[in-house]
Amino acid sequence: MTGAADDIALAKAAARRVAMAARDAADPRHGLWLAAHVLAECPPPPGAIVAGFWPMGAEIDIRPLLLALQGRGHALALPVTPRRGNPLGFRAWRFGTPLAPGPYGTSQPPPEAPEVTPDFLLVPLLAFDARGHRLGYGGGYYDRTLADLPWAAALGVGFASQRLPLVPSGLTDIPLPRIATEAGILQSEA
């Protein structure tokens, strides 16, 4: 990296530290409020395959939302982390089905679970801004996935306290049209 790329990488590292501190101070149970906002204001369309994620550490707990969506008849999927440089894969999953350990401390459906293509993605984040730019953990998996699934609706999910005035972004960072938090739904200004 040189010049602008170095500057963006340094700015992202600093933003990650701020966002992780905010996330770690939040209550993961705020996922109940997040679920209520999503279900009332921007639920997936009927019949959509919804890709969520199994929360790690202090991430907002979206399991109440996933359980409610399963109850409404949505097929669920969870991501499968590929080798670095590739988009995520997705496998079908339902509550009560065991999960397998995945890379980076993730939990994912086992290899025998069917591969699926989601219509609606719940995208985890470390930070976001009013433009819909998000900051993840730095692997670029969700940006590659969003580029690979341009027809799929994407909704960022996190804590309201993870909002920053400006998230540093580069050419391959894909903004999200909406972000859901325990405080409500933010429509991107971009």
Helix (H, G, I), strand (E, B) or coil at 18: helix
* 4 pLDDT above the threshold of 90: no
The predicted pLDDT at position 114 comes to 98
Among 39-48, 111-120, 136-145, name the one with the lowest average pLDDT.
Answer: 136-145
Contacts by 12-18 with C-beta closer than 8 Å and gap 24+? 12/135, 12/138, 12/168, 15/126, 15/127, 15/135, 15/164, 15/167, 15/168, 16/126, 16/127, 16/135, 16/137, 16/138, 18/127, 18/164
Are the C-beta atoms of residues 96 and 74 closer than 8 Å to each other? no
The predicted pLDDT at position 11 comes to 87
* 8 pLDDT above the threshold of 90: no
Q: What is the DSSP string of 94-121?
A: -TTS--EE-GGG-EE--TTSPB---SEE
Are the C-beta atoms of residues 82 and 88 closer than 8 Å to each other? yes
The total number of structural domains that make up the chain: 1
* 59 pLDDT above the threshold of 60: yes
Looking at mean pLDDT, say which of 23-27, 45-49, 137-141 comes out highest.
45-49
Q: Domain span at residue 67? A: 4-187
The predicted pLDDT at position 16 comes to 83
Q: What is the DSSP string of 20-72?
A: HHHHHHS-GGGHHHHHHHHHHH-PPPTT--EE-----TTS---HHHHHHHHHT
Secondary element (H or E) of residue 5: helix 4-25
Residue 1 — pLDDT band, cuts 50, 70, 90? very low
* Span 86-110, average pLDDT: 94
The CATH number for 96's domain is: 3.40.50.10420
Mean predicted lDDT score pLDDT of the chain:
92
